[in-house]
Structure 1
């Protein structure tokens, strides 16, 4: 996209932008998140950090809206409890009526498995994160942008790239140019 506009930007510059702005955008976006429903799907997948696999716990509701994620070094009851506590303390969630996990073979949890693919596809270019912080911030950015495109925010009526651009510009008090690239 940048080359089409005559700009030459190195991947390390984009990396630095993601590390700096992903947490800021998530903070701004969290204020406008619509409430999720009370039917949750929880699952985990793996992300490689410093050559070791970490566990990426993710939760969505039955409308496929992202609730949150949690990156952990362990896959045990303590990590699951921390993640569930994090979910229950979010201001845009209701107490769940049901939580579907993939541990029970009688459940089909394909709804969330499809969303793992999106995160995996976006993170494959990173190949191997060099620290927990860089992995967390990158995934934070990916999840936040996905929330924007899924229309999970109040005041963002249509989740087109142009509307998302204007929304982010307003949140950071950036001047909106008269032209669109």
Structure 2
């Protein structure tokens, strides 16, 4: 007899569909926790804004984790840039990358903006793409993910060209990664500002979501919430296989389905 996995909503006082609705709306639209409290009250549910906050902190990372295996393959032309996020009245740095079609590749929140932070971001992006390639191969060929993860990330969907701004940290980070064998020597680094207009436009969606909350109170809180913002942005842009851009009903059904919750 097959054993069912434990529910992600066990011991919660509200139905899973209500929890996911609040989490999805908060991560998708520019709403505050108090906005959602009022919206739920209109629908007959007395949910305190602090409860919704705890839901987002618990389920935003889980949403990101469950969505990742369903992402479409991106291309090998990267646009990399960093934007600013305020945490406890201090600006921190959100490194982000999209491909030439505007599809999100990866993101990383960092307290610093230097070559070491850039290297951490590129390593995370390469490892993420390696996992995606491994999962895709596993589905096609029936191989185990664990065996494919041993393949160097440079052999799987590695970038052909990386477009960045004039930040001097990027050439140093790329040079160090090439020296370490994590990037091929053939990878081209282009520091042409206008080529990064695509990602600068994409930053706006994330920044718009952070405004209603007036900043974050801790690095951990920001990191968990941003995972949800970013993955919902991917869903919105149509990066999920079989779920179209602009198909709001299918997007909502996909998210509830991943958690085993009926629409």
TM > 0.5: yes
Task: Spell out, residue by residue over 1:113-150, the C-alpha distance to the aligned partner (whole angstroms, 9 max, x if none).
Answer: 11111111100112121111110111111111111111
Q: Which among 74, 79, 86 is matched to residue 41 of structure 1?
A: 79
Q: Label 1:111 to 1:6 Cα distance change in 2 as closer, same or farther (>3 A).
A: same
Specify the alignment match of 2:237 in structure 1.
Answer: 150
Q: Which among 190, 208, 222 is matched to residue 135 of structure 1?
A: 222
Task: Spell out, residue by residue over 1:60-118, the C-alpha distance to the aligned partner (whole angstroms, 9 max, x if none).
Answer: 01110011110001111000001001111113371111111111774311111111111
Q: Which among 254, 257, 263 is matched to residue 167 of structure 1?
A: 254
Report the TM-score when normalising by structure 2.
0.63
Report the TM-score when normalising by structure 1.
0.89
Specify the alignment match of 2:132 in structure 1.
Answer: 92
Partner-residue secondary structure (3-state), 2:70: coil
Specify the alignment match of 1:12 in structure 2.
Answer: 50
Q: Which among 101, 106, 114 is matched to residue 164 of structure 2?
A: 101
Greater displacement, 56-65 / 149-158: 149-158
Partner-residue secondary structure (3-state), 1:59: strand
Structure 1, gaps ≥5 residues long: 177-181
Pairwise CA distance, 1:11: 2.7
User: Residue 74 in 1 paired to residue 74 in 2?
Assistant: no
Specify the alignment match of 1:116 in structure 2.
Answer: 203
Pairwise CA distance, 1:175: 2.7
Contact 1:148 1:159 (8 Å CA) reproduced: no
Pairwise CA distance, 1:159: 4.6
Pairwise CA distance, 1:13: 2.5
Which whole-Å CA distance do the structure 2 matches of 1:112 and 1:158 have between them?
18
Which whole-Å CA distance do the structure 2 matches of 1:92 and 1:37 have between them?
13
Which whole-Å CA distance do the structure 2 matches of 1:106 and 1:114 have between them?
16
Contact 2:164 2:192 (8 Å CA) reproduced: no
- Matched residue pairs, number? 176
Which whole-Å CA distance do the structure 2 matches of 1:128 and 1:165 have between them?
27
Decide which structure has greater helix share. 2
* RMSD between aligned residues: 1.8
